[in-house]
Amino acid sequence: MATAHVEHHLQLLAHLRTILVAVADAEVVPENHHALFLERFDDMVECLRDSTEDLYMGQEIISQVFQRYPQIAHLVPRDLLWFFGGDCLHFMPDEEIDKYQQVEELRYQALAQGEEFDWNQQIQLMFMPENAPEH
What's the confidence (pLDDT) of residue 1?
Answer: 46
- Residue 133 is predicted with a pLDDT of 55
Element (H, E) at 62: helix 56-68
The beta-carbon contacts of 104-110 under 8 Å, at least 24 apart in sequence, are 107/5
HEC string of 66-110 equals HHHCHHHHHHCCHHHHHHHCHHHHHHCCHHHHHHHHHHHHHHHHH
Sequence ranges of the domains in the chain: 4-74
Nearest to 48 by CA among 7, 91, 18: 7
Q: pLDDT digit of tens for each residue in the chain (135 aa)? A: 468 888 999 999 999 999 999 887 776 666 667 888 999 999 999 999 998 888 999 999 999 999 988 889 999 999 999 999 999 999 999 999 999 999 999 999 999 999 999 998 999 998 887 655 555
CA gap 102, 106 in Å, rounded: 6
Tell me which H or E stretch contains 111: helix 94-112
Q: What is the number of other CB atoms lying within 10 angstroms of the CB of residue 86?
A: 14
Q: 88 near 9, Cβ under 8 Å? A: no
pLDDT of residue 30: 62
Please indicate, yes or no, whether the overall pTM of this predicted structure exceeds 0.95: no
